[in-house]
Structure 1
Amino acid sequence: MHAVQFADHGDRGVIEYAERPDPSPGRGEVLVDVKAGALNHLDVWTRRGLPGIDLDLPHVPGSDAAGVVESVGDGVTRFEPGDRVAVSAGVSCGECEFCRHGEESQCVDYHIIGEHVPGVHAEYAAVPEDNLVAVPEGVDWATAAAAPLVFQTAWRMLMTRADLAAGESVLVLGASGGVGHAAVQIADFAGAEVFATASTEEKLDYAREVGADHAINYAETDFASEVFELTDGRGVDVVVDHVGGETWDDSLKSLAKGGRLVTCGATAGSRPETNVNRVFWNQLSILGSTMATPGEVDDVLAKVWDGTFEVRVRDRLPMGETARAHELLEDREGFGKVVVVPDSEFDA
C-alpha cells in the first residue's frame, strides 16, 4: 500500500507518499480501507518534531480518517467487514483513576493516534476497535474524516470544561480553523452570543454563516478593544483560545469579571506572558482541555451526522500532495478543514 510518511523531522520537504507493508489487524483491531483523511495543526507540529516525543521513523501521520472496514482482528465485537467508520484518535489506558471515573481524556497514559503512535493517512490503517465510531449512510467521506478531532475538542472545551450556558457570551479566536469553526457552531447551538476573530473579510463572512453574531478582523483591529466596545465595557464570559503566543494577554483582557479562558493548544507559541494581577483581581479561570471522552464524542458527532453542525472543507487533495496540504495549514489559507484522499481513490 501507499502511505504519507516522513523519515526525518523538518520542513514540508520531508513528506513523501511511499510504499509501506500492508498492515494486518491485531487483537482488538480493525483494518480500515481509508477513503479520506483530514489534517490538523497537530500534523504540522509532529512533522516538525514535538519536544519530548520520540517517534519510530519513518512515521505515518494523521489523526483523522474515515473508510470501510476491510477485516477485523480477534476479539472485535462492534464492527464487521463493510461497516462505515471514522477514527476518534484519543487512546486511553482504561485502568487509571481518570479512566475509571469516565474522564478518559485525562488518562495518565493518554496518547493520540498520529502524534505518539503511527497515524492513519494511508490506503489502509489498523485501528483499535475502541477508536472507531460508526458513520451513517449518507454522510460523505470528507465530512466523516474531518469532523471527529476538532468537533470533539471544541465540544469538550465549551460544554464540559467551560460549562457554557445559554445567554452567555463567547469569543472564539481563529474562527477559520478546524477547532475554531467547530467552536463557533457549538457556542451558537448552546444559545450563546458569539464573537469570532479571523484575518480576512472572506473568513469573517464564513464565520457569520456558521453562527457568529460579531466578526472581528484581528489583522486590522485590536480584538480585545473591539470586544469591550461591542459589550459596553463588560467583556465576554468565555474565550476559546487555541492560539496562545501574543494573543494570550488580549484573550485575558477580553474576559468579563469571573470569566473563563479555555485552551486546547498554542499554535502561535506555548510560553506567553500572563498578567497574574488581572487573573486574580478579575477572578478569572484558565481551563485546559484535551480531546474528549467517548460519551462526548458520541454526543457531538451525532449532531454532525444529522446536519446540526457543518464541517467546512476548504480543500480536498490527493495524499500524494500532502505537502501542499501542510502548506495550506501553515499559511492559514481558507476556512475550515483540509482533506486528503488516497491517490487510488481520488476522484474515483
Structure 2
Amino acid sequence: MHSGAAADPHDGGPGATLRLDRFDFGPLKEGEALVEPILGSWEANIDHALARSPIDVCRSRGEDAVVLGNSGLVRALKVNAGNRDVQVREGDLCLLLPFGRTDRFGYAELVHAYDEPGTIGLLAKQSKMAARLLLPIPDGTPYSLPQWASYGRYFTAWDNWQKAYGCWRTQVADADPADHLVFGWGGGVAFAELLLARRAGFRVAMTAGSDERVSFLRENGITAVDRRRFPDLSLPTRQERTDRDRHQRRRTSVKELLDVIGELSDGHGVAIFVDNIGEPLYDITLTAMARQGVVSTCGWRAGMRLSQLRGAECISRHLHVNTHVWRLPDSPGIRDFQESDGWIAPKGADMIYDFDRVPELAEDYANGRIGSYFPMYRVNPL
C-alpha cells in the first residue's frame, strides 16, 4: 500500500489501494529472520489501513509504501540469531506475533506491519522480521495450517475474555454463570470469546446475518440470533437523520431484539456483552446490559467514537473493558491451550483467497460478502 500522495488515482475501493510491486529490504540483522509467508489471516486492521482510518499508516510511519499483513503462518528460511536467545529454527512453521513496540508489561503499543515503522507484513513472497515474534506451532499437531493461521482472533479473544470475566466476578463473586447470558455482535473474535464463555458455564448467544453463519453458530453450541430479523438496528446515517420513518423502523428493530435478549436472559439482560462493532450499535449494547454487567471490546468494525450517559452507567454498575491485542509473554501459553483443549478454528471454517486475488478479498471483506469468520490469503504453497 502506497501513501496517499504516492498512490495512483483509483476508484476508491480498498482493493484498488493495493499495488503489486517489488519491495526491497536489507540484510538480516542480529535477531532477525527471513521468512516465507504461507497463509495470512485477513484482519480488521488491514481494512482500517486501506481505508486510511483512523490513521494513514504510511503517513504515521513516514514511509511511502507499507507491506501490510500481521497475522498468519510463515516458514523460517534463515535465522540470524547472533548472541540472542532465539527459539525459532530454520524450517520451522511459525505464527507471526503482531507486536511492534511493547510497553514494560509486554502489551502492544505499536503493531507490526501496521503503525510500527520499518516493519514488513505478510503480503509479500518473502519478508523479514524480529525472530522473537515467531512462535513455532507444536510438532505433530493434529490441527491444519489454516486452523493455526486463524490464531490472531483466538489470542485476542483469550486476553479480552480473561479481563472481562475477571471484572464481572469482582461484582458478582458467587453468581452461577448458568444463570447469566454472554452476548456478542457477530465476528470471529466474538465467536472465539463466546466459546470460552460457554466453557465457563454461561449461556451464550450471538448475532449472525446469513444462513451459513446461523448454522455455523448452532453447530458450535452458540444460540444464533438472526440479524436479518432486525434489519434497521444501526444508527441512521447523516442522510437519514431527518427521516422519521427510518427512526421508527429502528425503534421497532431495537425493541424486537431486546425482547429476544430478555427471553435468553430471563429478563435480566446481558452479563457480558462483547461489542467489537462500535458506534452504530453501541446504544443498544448499553440498553441490553444487566446490572453489574460488563461491556467488553478489543476493537471496532465501524465508528470508534462513543458516547454514554455516565450517571446511568454508574448507577447500573456497568464496567467497561477495553483491550488491544494481548500480552506478548502470554503467547506460548495461549498456543498450548489451543493445542491441548481444541479451542481453535473449526476445521473447514476458513475461506482462502490466492495471492493474486487479495484485492478481491479486500473488496469482499469491506462489503460484507464473506460468509466465513476466518478469511485468509495464501502467499506461498506449503
TM-score class, shorter:
0.7 to 0.9
Contact 1:85 1:132 survives alignment (8 Å): yes
Contact 1:31 1:126 survives alignment (8 Å): yes
Structure 1 or 2, whichever has the larger Rg, is: 2
Q: Which moved more, 1:160-169 or 1:249-258?
A: 160-169
Contact 1:199 1:219 survives alignment (8 Å): yes
1:330 Cα offset (Å): 1.3
Q: Supply the AA of the counterpart residue of 2:124.
A: A
**Partner residue of 2:121?**
119
1:224 Cα offset (Å): 3.0
Would you say 1:145 and 2:149 are equivalent positions? yes
Cα deviation digits, residues 60-112 of structure 1 (max 9, x gap): 1101121221111223521221122111102344xx5xx2xxx322x5xx111
- Write the distance in 1 (CA, Å) between the matches of 2:212 and 2:89: 43
Q: Which runs of 5+ in 2 are unaligned?
A: 170-176, 231-253
Query: Taking structure 1 as reference, are residues 92 and 211 closer, same or farther at Cα in structure 2, changes over 3 Å only?
Result: farther
Measured on the aligned residues, the alpha-carbon RMSD in Å equals 2.3
Question: Please, which of 136, 148, 170 is the counterpart of residue 182 of structure 2?
Answer: 170
Cα deviation digits, residues 111-145 of structure 1 (max 9, x gap): 11121133222222212122121112444322222
- Write the distance in 2 (CA, Å) between the matches of 1:329 and 1:262: 23
Would you say 1:303 and 2:307 are equivalent positions? no
**Partner residue of 2:52?**
49
Q: Which moved more, 1:262-271 or 1:165-174?
A: 165-174
The count of residues paired between Structure 1 and Structure 2 equals: 327
- Write the distance in 2 (CA, Å) between the matches of 1:286 and 1:242: 13
1:305 Cα offset (Å): 3.0
Q: Which moved more, 1:330-339 or 1:7-16?
A: 7-16
Cα deviation digits, residues 214-258 of structure 1 (max 9, x gap): 221223133333211222210121001000122111111121111
Contact 1:245 1:268 survives alignment (8 Å): yes
Contact 1:184 1:211 survives alignment (8 Å): no
- Write the distance in 2 (CA, Å) between the matches of 1:309 and 1:273: 35
Question: Please, which of 15, 22, 33 is the counterpart of residue 30 of structure 1?
Answer: 33
Would you say 1:315 and 2:343 are equivalent positions? no
Q: TM-score, normalised by structure 1?
A: 0.86
Would you say 1:341 and 2:378 are equivalent positions? yes
Query: Taking structure 1 as reference, are residues 205 and 88 closer, same or farther at Cα in structure 2, changes over 3 Å only?
Result: same
Question: Please, which of 215, 225, 234 is the counterpart of residue 216 of structure 1?
Answer: 225
**Partner residue of 1:128?**
130
Runs of 4+ deviating beyond 6 Å: none
**Partner residue of 1:77?**
86
Would you say 1:184 and 2:194 are equivalent positions? yes
Question: Please, which of 13, 17, 20 is the counterpart of residue 20 of structure 2?
Answer: 17
Quick one: percent identity of the two aligned structures? Answer: 18
- Look up the SS of the partner of 1:104 in the other structure: coil
Contact 2:181 2:264 survives alignment (8 Å): no
Q: TM-score, normalised by structure 2?
A: 0.79
Larger helix fraction of residues: 2
Would you say 1:156 and 2:159 are equivalent positions? yes
Question: Please, which of 353, 362, 369 is the counterpart of residue 326 of structure 1?
Answer: 362
- Write the distance in 1 (CA, Å) between the matches of 2:339 and 2:20: 31
Contact 1:151 1:301 survives alignment (8 Å): no
Q: Which moved more, 1:195-204 or 1:34-43?
A: 195-204
Would you say 1:40 and 2:43 are equivalent positions? yes
Contact 1:65 1:121 survives alignment (8 Å): no
Within-5 A mapping of 1:257-268? 257-268=291-302
Contact 1:171 1:236 survives alignment (8 Å): yes
Larger strand fraction of residues: 1
Query: Taking structure 1 as reference, are residues 204 and 191 closer, same or farther at Cα in structure 2, changes over 3 Å only?
Result: same
Contact 1:67 1:141 survives alignment (8 Å): no
